Amino acid sequence: MLAQALPQPIVRSALRPMNPLRDLGQIADLVEGAFGAELRLLGDEYLVAMRRWAARAPLLLLLDPEESFLSGYVWEEAGRLVGNVTVGPLYRGSAEWLISNVVVHPDYRRRGIARQLMEAALASIAARGGERAVLQMREDNEGAGRLYASLGFRYLYGSVDLLREAQPAPPALGPLAVPWRRFRSGDLHAARRLLQRATPPEQQPYAPVLAASSQFLEHGAWGAWLEDRLDGARTGRWVAEEAGRICAFLGARASRRRGRHHRLYWIVRPDQQGRLEEALVGRGLGFLAAFPDHPTLALAPLSDETGLAALRQWGFREVRRLSHLKLEVKTA
What pLDDT is recorded for position 200? 83
Assign residue 240 a region (left: φ > 0; alpha: ψ between -120 and 50; beta: otherwise).
beta
Given pLDDT bands bounded at 50, 70 and 90, which one contains residue 29?
confident
Within-domain flag for 6:
no
What pLDDT is recorded for position 9? 44
Within-domain flag for 178:
yes
| Mean pLDDT, range 38-65, rounded to an integer | 64
Within-domain flag for 123:
yes
Rounded to the nearest 10°, the torsion over CA 301, 305, 306, 309 is 100
Q: What is the DSSP letter of 88?
A: E
Within-domain flag for 283:
yes
What pLDDT is recorded for position 207? 63
Question: Are the C-beta atoms of 230 and 241 separated by less than 8 Å?
Answer: no
Which of 111, 130, 149 is the endpoint of a domain? 130
Domain of 179, in residue numbers: 161-321
Concatenated DSSP letters of 255-305? E-STT--EEEEEEE-GGGTTTSHHHHHHHHHHHHTTSTTS-EEEEEETT-H
Question: pLDDT averaged over the chain?
Answer: 83
In the predicted model, is pLDDT for residue 66 greater than 60? Answer: no
The Cα-based distances of 332 to 97, 129, 236, 267 in angstroms read: 16, 9, 47, 39
Within-domain flag for 327:
no
Within-domain flag for 17:
yes
Indicate if 303 and 208 belong to the same structural domain: yes
What pLDDT is recorded for position 119? 96
The structural domain count of the chain equals 2
Indicate if 101 and 175 belong to the same structural domain: no
Length of the chain: 332
Q: Which residue has the higher pLDDT, 149 or 274?
A: 149
Rg over alpha carbons for the chain, rounded to the nearest Å, is 22
Rounded to the nearest 10°, the torsion over CA 9, 15, 21, 22 is 20
Taking the model in full, what pTM does it have? 0.82
Indicate if 126 and 217 belong to the same structural domain: no
Q: Which residue has the higher pLDDT, 8 or 135?
A: 135
Question: Are the C-beta atoms of 75 and 84 separated by less than 8 Å?
Answer: yes
Indicate if 184 and 284 belong to the same structural domain: yes
pLDDT in tens, 238-290: 999 988 899 999 999 998 887 788 999 999 999 999 889 998 999 999 999 88
Indicate if 262 and 179 belong to the same structural domain: yes
What pLDDT is recorded for position 7? 46
Q: Which residue has the higher pLDDT, 42 or 144?
A: 144
Element (H, E) at 190: helix 188-198
What pLDDT is recorded for position 67? 52
In the predicted model, is pLDDT for residue 214 greater than 80? Answer: no
In the predicted model, is pLDDT for residue 45 greater than 70? Answer: no
What pLDDT is recorded for position 55? 62
What pLDDT is recorded for position 24? 83
Indicate if 123 and 212 belong to the same structural domain: no
Given pLDDT bands bounded at 50, 70 and 90, which one contains residue 1?
very low
Element (H, E) at 51: helix 45-55
Indicate if 168 and 62 belong to the same structural domain: no
Indicate if 46 and 175 belong to the same structural domain: no
Between CA 74 and CA 85 the distance in angstroms is 6
Indicate if 176 and 226 belong to the same structural domain: yes
Which of 130, 153, 173 is the endpoint of a domain? 130
In the predicted model, is pLDDT for residue 31 greater than 70? Answer: yes
Indicate if 124 and 40 belong to the same structural domain: yes
Indicate if 170 and 120 belong to the same structural domain: no
Percentage of the chain exceeding pLDDT 90? 43
Minimal CA–CA distance to 138: which of 326, 325, 329, 327?
325
pLDDT in tens, 166-195: 887 666 776 777 888 999 988 989 998 898
What pLDDT is recorded for position 211? 53
Longest dimension (CA), the chain: 98
Which of 130, 153, 170 is the endpoint of a domain? 130
CA-CA-CA-CA torsion sign (303, 254, 40, 117): negative
Percentage of the chain exceeding pLDDT 70? 82
Minimal CA–CA distance to 96: which of 130, 122, 121, 123?
130
Minimal CA–CA distance to 297: which of 34, 50, 38, 35?
38
What pLDDT is recorded for position 6? 45
Where does residue 205 rank: exposed (0-12), middle (13-18), buried (19+ CB within 10 A)? buried
pLDDT in tens, 77-102: 888 899 999 998 887 777 889 999 99
Which domain CATH number covers 305? Answer: 3.40.630.30
Indicate if 36 and 169 belong to the same structural domain: no
Q: Which residue has the higher pLDDT, 224 or 152?
A: 152
